[in-house]
Amino acid sequence: MITEYISELAIKLLDAGGYWSAALLMMLESMVAPVPSEAVMPFVGFLVADGKWNLSLSILTTTAGSIIGSLISYYMGYYGGKPVVLKVGKYLLLDRHDLELTEKFFAKRSGTLTLFFSRFIPVIRHFISIPAGMGKMRLFPFLTATLIGATLWNSFLLFLGIKLRENWTIVQKYSHQVDIVVLLLLAALVGWFIHSRLKRRREPHS
């Protein structure tokens, strides 16, 4: 069962590194590294459901990681601007197109509420701290929106993981069907990634 293998591998890796491993992954997720929270927090929920990790400490450490990552991005934008972000970001597989998309998004709707709701939007949430820093957004509103948004989002995914673990026997019962869905999703993601990169490579550079 592919899903069983993936889940057990993720659990072992997280458990081996402890809470700090989850915090580090969420720190990277809040920067420009391609580490989706959807691939981290549910497995943290698995560990909580198994009684290996404490619920409050799991939320605390992962949210701390999100805040640290967001602050790093914020200060890169604040003090270095786009040149520094692009220079550092190339080592974290920064997608320049997604960064520019987020810049435009923030420019049209800048403010604390925009930053808060951005924590729930795929792609945008990875980059939103950078234009906030470039726009010299005040630190206290930035931290407030980031803290509340990250806590809610991380907790939501964690509790999804807990519920999934509690119903794991049902997942195993339909393992064949689940594996097919997982393979199709992976194939779709790989296809989309390759297509988007080839398309951007063909586009004329300004």
Q: Where are the domains of the chain?
A: 2-172, 174-206
* Angle subtended by helix axes 55-75 and 139-166, to nearest 10: 140
The SS3 of residue 191 is helix
Q: Which of 80, 73, 81 is nearest to 115 (CA)?
A: 73
Where the chain has pLDDT below 70, the residues are 1-7, 88-96, 98, 109-110, 168-186, 189-190, 192-206
- 85: nearest Cα among 77, 74, 97: 77
pLDDT tens-digit map of 57-70: 999 999 999 999 99
The model's pTM is: 0.74
